[in-house]
Structure 1
Amino acid sequence: MVSTSCLTCIASTTLLLLLAHTAYVTIRTMQPNKLKILMIGPSESGKTHIANFISDSINIEEADTPRPTQGVRIVEFELSNLNVNGKTTNIDIELWDCSGDHRFESCWPALRLGVQGVILVCSPNTAQTASREMELFYNYFVSQPKLSAKQCVLFYNCTEDRDDQQEMVSLNLSHTFSKVSQVTINLKTGGSRLKIDFSNYITSILQSINKDN
């Protein structure tokens, strides 16, 4: 079952902080059976489409019309039958689909509270600003909370038939991303592959958490 909630956080930062604190306490209480995953990147990168698809909120035919996220949208769902260190594991995912609009930057402290994984998203139409934006998001949401590189993944979201791998190389990402998994995705032609990539990413987070514990 998938549940979704939305928050607009310009004037309601206090409310969001309270919600984030509640989610943080819940996650820590239930760990490792629940993960808080943040998805963020430049506006119009397709983050909501990706979140909807991997959570089975929509089918692929419905993933065409962009709807800019106002603040943050939280999607909750379960991943089943993950192989973590030789054991079959089910995990609840709390996916925070965050707006890339800097109008909501005052909400960032609440968004990253208790975060256990970060998905950075960019696309061909945001490529010109992607390098700078990815560096900014990585520093704030990965480095400052002291997450490991394995707890971050970069999705390059493509919608056309082109040499997408070459385009991702042309982003000129800094050395910061040398240890971060970078995956080219296409919802229209490689949706099944995306779900596998997401499951592998979640598995790597669980392995990292188990190792630290």
Structure 2
Amino acid sequence: MFKIKIPVVGPVRAGKTAISNFLADAGDSIGTEYIPTIGCRILEMEQETKISNRKEKFEIELWDCSGDLKYESCWTALSHDANGVVFAFNPYEANHSKELNQWFTHFVQNSGIREECCLIIENRYETETGTPNAGKLGNLFDGIKKIKSNMENESEKFRDEFNNFIQSVAAFSKSKQDQEEKMILR
């Protein structure tokens, strides 16, 4: 079985744990009290998808990474061998869009992950009021697909969009692995 590693990164209070728990069916944390992640949690799930007219089964590791910058020294280990990255931010938090630039620099530019294997999740809750501060991310994110998360009201749509992302990461990763194996056999 092919393994895919996806770090879920972003600032503190971006909803990374709620997103990861929801996607991995690891419990319901929507609307519960905020508890910061210490370091990183790894959640595993499986998905079957069609790649090159063949059904492939993948084990997906979602690495729910703390948004606390005191863990920045661990980012190299968290990004090592990642196949893609999910960026999460809350548009109602003033500094989130600016903080994402730091995460992008390390997890994409410094790690060599292609933009096609990245996803931005604008995470918002129904209880939030006011005008979102963000929505306008820096130009570093221009080539990355962005989806809005509303797990409370549109959970299946959100899950479908994420599954499409995983399918494209899986196809790219499998193709890359096949090419590497062919090079070894030559």
TM-score range, shorter chain: 0.7 to 0.9
Q: Which runs of 5+ in 1 are unaligned?
A: 1-29
C-alpha RMSD of the superposition = 2.2
User: What residue number does 1:58 align with?
Assistant: 27
1:1-213 to structure 2, matched below 5 A, reads 33-59=2-28, 62-65=29-32, 66-80=34-48, 82-126=49-93, 128-160=94-126, 167=132, 170-212=134-176, 213=179
Q: Which runs of 5+ in 2 are unaligned?
A: 180-186
Whole-Å Cα distance in 2 between the matches of residues 53 and 131 of structure 1? Answer: 23
User: What residue number does 1:4 align with?
Assistant: none
Cα contact 1:152–1:181 (8 A) shared by 2? yes
Cα contact 2:98–2:138 (8 A) shared by 1? no
User: What residue number does 2:184 align with?
Assistant: none
Whole-Å Cα distance in 2 between the matches of residues 63 and 42 of structure 1? Answer: 18
| TM superposition shift of 1:210 | 3.9
Report the structure, 1 or 2, having the larger helix content. Answer: 1
Cα contact 2:44–2:61 (8 A) shared by 1? yes
Q: 1:85 to 1:167 in 2, by over 3 A?
A: farther
| TM superposition shift of 1:209 | 2.5
Q: 1:88 to 1:167 in 2, by over 3 A?
A: farther
Whole-Å Cα distance in 1 between the matches of residues 155 and 53 of structure 2? Answer: 26
Whole-Å Cα distance in 1 between the matches of residues 141 and 50 of structure 2? Answer: 26
User: What residue number does 1:12 align with?
Assistant: none
How many residues end up aligned between the 2 structures? 176
> TM-score normalised to the size of structure 1?
0.75
| Aligned-partner SS, 1:156 | strand
| Aligned-partner SS, 1:97 | strand
Whole-Å Cα distance in 2 between the matches of residues 85 and 159 of structure 1? Answer: 38
Letter in structure 1 aligned against 2:37: T
Q: 1:42 to 1:211 in 2, by over 3 A?
A: same
Whole-Å Cα distance in 2 between the matches of residues 209 and 41 of structure 1? Answer: 23
